[in-house]
């Protein structure tokens, strides 16, 4: 993966009246990368995507698309983006071909290239045999594909897809995911979703957003690494000094969590948990919880989002 | 780019039954009126004024009322044409296609506006066939005819601009249609109240778009009237651009 950044945002912020939808979001996308934006409902995913595609003006911050400022030179920057909003922006009274031709012309393709571009987009989205049909008569899944075809017809550098698999059946979902992976090879793709396995299936990198902020960002490869290191979650009623825990043989890191809980990373060792329990009993730490941690995206997601909610309530 | 949007708009208009229904109804009604005016001219006007100098001719008693009625009919019809411009796109969520394309807001608005004008041109083209059909049999006053037609074009263009602006305000086409209709009727009422004997008001007549139309029908080409329409159109189109830009900035 090279380091050419297709999208870069600085302090992206958006208010709706007193409500802050996006608060100082930093986001970047490299070429050949699929970035998953994850977040609960109302986290600011859609607002972020609307800002990235020029549908919504940010209250503060900068957006660079391949080095071009979206706010200073919107026409130049928008040429490089393809966008599928939550609801596919299809004209129901046009046929697929007519609609895609219009979308291609609208994105500034010269007339002689339109035909091949439309054919290419149709083939990629599996729309080959519905070109002459009215979009309004197509099923939701096909309309969604027309929406994606519209976003890629002008071969943009960046494709922004807002919940591309919503409302599709499982087979269609698989096809769309395969398409997204394929797109990710030559374009950069940002997609938002709240389906966790989807991120694991198609993304190279994941960024979890909650209440307008990035609460977690890592590559999926990095996630797998976390998975590799054995981690114990320990709850201690009478916790000792953290250095005492760090001093235990085989422990490589200790991270204190609220309410007397600790996240202990240790070396690969079969009987470590047993040894830790014995030690806790011996020294009277009041062990009340000891669970091996399996780092899955789902866990990270629920932990982060839940913790934020608790903090917000406090 | 503007033409791409205009072309698409016009094409989609003719894909909907609405456009055809509107054309059919308007032409049917105007054709009936046209016959009535001719009948009236043949039985009433012609016998009475035959041989008089400066008497009202065919153009005054057939063509001018026809164009006037076309204008009156369009008070109700134009809102139906313009309501879909932005309201429907908002309601169906198709606006992002335009907004995320490399086109400016001005281009979007002008494109859609030209699309409507294209439809108006088709309609006027068909309406004009009626007076033209009697041209071989009589002598039309071409100057008056052209001036009246220009007036009608400007009047309808001003209706379209107002309707376009109002359709950016609402996501419901029906609301857009009703409010455009209200605005257009309001301007007519300004004329009626401004020119009524008791409370004549120059200002009201000036503000109303119908007042300016009537002088065109009389064959009076006044650049002040032309300027009125151009300003009217420019104002509403600018408002529409501003409104859509504000939507992106909404706080």
């009202």: which residue's tokens? Answer: B56
Report the C-alpha gap between B210 and B232 in whole angstroms. Answer: 12
At residue B23, the pLDDT reads: 94
CA atoms within 13 A on the CB side of B141: 19
Q: Please check the confidence at residue B112 and state whether its pLDDT lies above 70.
A: yes
CA atoms within 13 A on the CB side of A223: 21
Residue A43 carries which DSSP code?
Answer: S
* The CATH fold of domain A5-218: Rossmann fold (3.40.50)
Residue B169 vs residues A228, B81, B177: alpha-carbon distances, Å: 56, 16, 11
Q: Please check the confidence at residue B251 and state whether its pLDDT lies above 70.
A: no
The model's pLDDT over B31-59, given as tens digits with 9 standing for 90+, comes to: 999 999 989 888 887 777 777 776 677 78
Q: Using CA coordinates, name the residue in chain B closest to A53.
A: B100
- At A314, the pLDDT band (50, 70, 90 cuts) reads low
Interchain CB distance below 8 Å, B100 and A108: no
At residue B24, the pLDDT reads: 95
Q: Which of A106-110, A268-272, B138-142 has the lowest mean pLDDT?
A: A268-272
Structure-block tokens of residue A177? 């995911």
The model's pLDDT over B179-217, given as tens digits with 9 standing for 90+, comes to: 999 999 998 888 888 877 776 677 777 788 888 888 888
At residue B182, the pLDDT reads: 94
* The CATH fold of domain A229-313: Alpha-Beta Plaits (3.30.70)
- At B230, the pLDDT band (50, 70, 90 cuts) reads very high
Interchain CB distance below 8 Å, A55 and B96: yes
DSSP alpha helices (H): ranges in chain A?
Answer: 45-52, 74-78, 96-106, 111-124, 140-152, 170-186, 196-202, 220-228, 242-247, 272-283, 297-313
- At A1, the pLDDT band (50, 70, 90 cuts) reads very low
Interchain CB distance below 8 Å, A90 and B5: no
ipTM: 0.85
* Mean pLDDT across A290-306: 73
CA distance A226 to chain B (A): 38
Q: Is B1 helix (H, G, I), strand (E, B) or coil?
A: coil
Q: Which of A144-158, A250-264, B13-27, B228-242 has the lowest mean pLDDT?
A: A250-264
**Contact residues on chain A for B3, CB-CB shorter than 8 A:** none
At residue A229, the pLDDT reads: 63
At residue A2, the pLDDT reads: 45
Report the C-alpha gap between A80 and A67 in whole angstroms. Answer: 11
How many residues appear in chain A?
314
CB-based contact B65:B127 (threshold 8 Å): no
Give the domain ranges of chain A.
5-218, 229-313
């Amino acid at each position: 993966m090279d380091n050419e950044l297709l999208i870069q945002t600085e302090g992206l912020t958006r208010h709706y009246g007193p409500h802050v939808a996006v608060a100082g979001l930093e986001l970047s996308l490299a070429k050949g990368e699929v970035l998953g934006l994850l977040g609960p409902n109302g986290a600011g995913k859609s607002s972020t995507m609307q800002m990235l595609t020029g549908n919504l003006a940010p209250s503060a911050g900068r957006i660079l698309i391949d080095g071009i400022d979206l706010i200073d030179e919107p026409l130049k920057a928008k040429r490089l983006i393809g966008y599928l909003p939550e609801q596919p922006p299809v004209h129901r009274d046009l046929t697929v071909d007519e609609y895609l031709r219009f979308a291609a012309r609208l994105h500034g393709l010269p007339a002689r290239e339109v035909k091949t571009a439309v054919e290419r987009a149709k083939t990629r989205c599996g729309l080959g045999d519905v070109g002459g049909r009215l979009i309004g008569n197509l099923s939701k899944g096909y309309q969604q594909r027309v929406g994606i075809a519209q976003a890629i017809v002008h071969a943009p550098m960046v494709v922004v897809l807002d919940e591309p698999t919503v409302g599709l059946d499982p087979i269609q979902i698989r096809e769309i995911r395969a398409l997204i992976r394929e797109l990710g090879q030559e374009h950069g793709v940002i997609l938002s979703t709240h389906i966790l396995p989807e991120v694991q299936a198609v993304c190279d990198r994941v960024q979890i957003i909650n209440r307008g902020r990035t609460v977690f960002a890592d590559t999926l490869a990095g996630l797998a690494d976390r998975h590799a290191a054995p981690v114990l979650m320990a709850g201690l009623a009478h916790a000792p000094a953290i250095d005492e825990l760090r001093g235990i043989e085989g422990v490589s890191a200790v991270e204190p969590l609220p309410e007397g809980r600790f996240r202990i990373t240790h070396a690969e060792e079969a009987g470590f948990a047993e040894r830790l329990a014995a030690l806790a009993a011996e020294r009277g730490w009041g062990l009340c919880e000891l669970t091996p941690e399996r780092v899955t995206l789902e866990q990270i997601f629920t932990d982060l989002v839940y913790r934020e909610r608790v903090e917000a309530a406090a | 780019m503007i033409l791409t949007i205009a072309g698409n708009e016009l094409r989609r208009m003719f894909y909907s039954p609405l456009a055809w229904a509107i054309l059919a109804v308007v032409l049917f009604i105007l054709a009936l009126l046209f016959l009535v005016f001719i009948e009236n001219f043949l039985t009433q006007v012609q016998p009475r004024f035959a041989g008089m100098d400066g008497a009202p001719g065919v153009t005054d008693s057939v063509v001018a009322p026809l164009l006037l009625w076309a204008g009156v009919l369009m008070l109700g019809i134009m809102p139906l044409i313009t309501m879909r411009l932005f309201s429907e796109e908002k309601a169906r969520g198709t606006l992002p296609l335009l907004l995320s394309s490399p086109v400016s807001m001005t281009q979007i608005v002008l494109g859609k506006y030209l699309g409507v004008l294209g439809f108006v041109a088709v309609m006027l083209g068909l309406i004009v066939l009626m007076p033209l059909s009697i041209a071989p049999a009589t002598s039309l006053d071409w100057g008056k005819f052209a001036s009246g037609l220009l007036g009608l074009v400007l009047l309808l263009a001003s209706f379209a601009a107002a309707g376009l602006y109002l359709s950016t305000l609402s996501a419901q086409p029906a609301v857009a249609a009703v409010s455009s209709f209200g605005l257009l009727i309001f301007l007519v009422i300004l004329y009626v109240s401004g020119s009524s004997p008791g409370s004549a008001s120059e200002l009201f007549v000036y503000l109303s778009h119908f007042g300016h139309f009537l002088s065109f029908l009389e064959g009076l080409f006044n650049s002040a009237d032309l300027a009125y329409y151009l300003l009217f159109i420019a104002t509403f189109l600018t408002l529409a651009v501003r409104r859509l830009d504000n939507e992106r900035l909404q706080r």
